[in-house]
Amino acid sequence: MRALAKFASVAALATASISSANAAVYVFNYAGNNNSSSYGTPGNTITSTASNGSTSVSVTASAWSTVSNVTSAAWLGNYPEGLGVKNAAADQNSVDNYAGLDYVLLQFSRPVSLTSAFLTAKGYPVFGQPVKDADAVFSYGNTAATSLGNIVSSVPSSTTILGTLRTVATAGQTGKFWAIAASGTDRTFDAFKIGQITVSAVPEPATWAMMIIGFGAIGMAMRSRRAKTAKVSYAF
């Protein structure tokens, strides 16, 4: 038993090393679709699944908007350039901060690291500004939340006036919930659609540990059996 306990400790350390070295990458593409009407009932969701080999991760996206310090469910659309938000029938169909702060909440089937996101900058005449701006803030956490302030930690925002691939969790930040919001420190309105997100996730620690312990237990059992077989006594 002491040998098995010692092996379990070693397995735990090995699990951490193996898990970090075997993080799988999952890509969710939202661009190129046009599955949305111009406006629908707020609170709808869009669920997608991405696979890597024999493993998969699913994500459910929803739209939210904060207007006058009140956060409410909004309409989430999947347009040719990606996911967009409408907090009213007359609102622009992008994630923007013109008539309230829009954001998309992503709930994953297990904790992931949001490594990158492709945001397509949008510009509308109603904004009254000559440039397209697409500043974004990424937040993450592990408890259900609809308010950005409750999702926990934010990743430094990526500031640009063009639609580009943004590198997000550079320090390996991990959460089951991620939010992508339109927000910036400059004086221009931000607006974009989410065309693609890429996440990484390590194998479940418990799965690795049980596999390693199982192999170890089998090995020790075989070793014990061989030892007993070798001890043969003869009576004369």
pLDDT digits (tens, 9 = 90+) for 131-174: 677 788 888 888 766 555 455 566 655 555 556 788 888 788 89
* Predicted local distance difference test score (pLDDT) of residue 146: 58
Structural tokens at position 59? 């994500």
* Predicted local distance difference test score (pLDDT) of residue 116: 92
Task: Assign domain 24-201 to a CATH class.
Answer: mainly beta
Do 100 and 67 contact (CB within 8 A), yes or no? yes
Rounded CA separation 95/52 (Å): 29
- Which of 6-15, 19-28, 67-76, 189-198 has the weakest average pLDDT? 6-15
Q: pLDDT-based confidence at 90, cuts 50/70/90? A: confident
Mind listing the pLDDT tens digit for each residue in 13-70?
444 444 445 789 999 999 987 766 667 889 999 999 999 999 999 999 999 998 888 8
* Predicted local distance difference test score (pLDDT) of residue 151: 59
* Predicted local distance difference test score (pLDDT) of residue 20: 47
Burial grade of 84 (CB within 10 A; 0-12, 13-18, 19 or more): buried
- Delimit the domains of the chain by residue range: 1-22+203-236, 24-201
Secondary structure (H, E, C), the chain: CHHHHHHHHHHHHHHHHHHHHCCEEEEEECCCCCCCCCCCCCCCEEEEEEEECCEEEEEEEEEEEEECCEEEECEEEEECCEEEEECCCCCCCCEECCCCEEEEEEEEEEEEEEEEEEEEECCCHHHCCCCCCCCEEEEEECCCCCCHHHCCEEEEEECCCCCEEEECCCCCCCEEEEEEEECCCCCCCCEEEEEEEEEEECCCHHHHHHHHHHHHHHHHHHHHHHHHHHCCCCCC
- Sign of the C-alpha dihedral, residues 208, 209, 212, 215? negative
Q: Can you give the pTM of this predicted structure?
A: 0.74
Rounded CA separation 136/112 (Å): 19
In the block, which residue shows the tokens 């939202």? 30
Do 148 and 139 contact (CB within 8 A), yes or no? yes
Do 51 and 26 contact (CB within 8 A), yes or no? yes
Rounded CA separation 102/66 (Å): 7
- Which of 132-136, 204-208, 225-229 has the weakest average pLDDT? 225-229
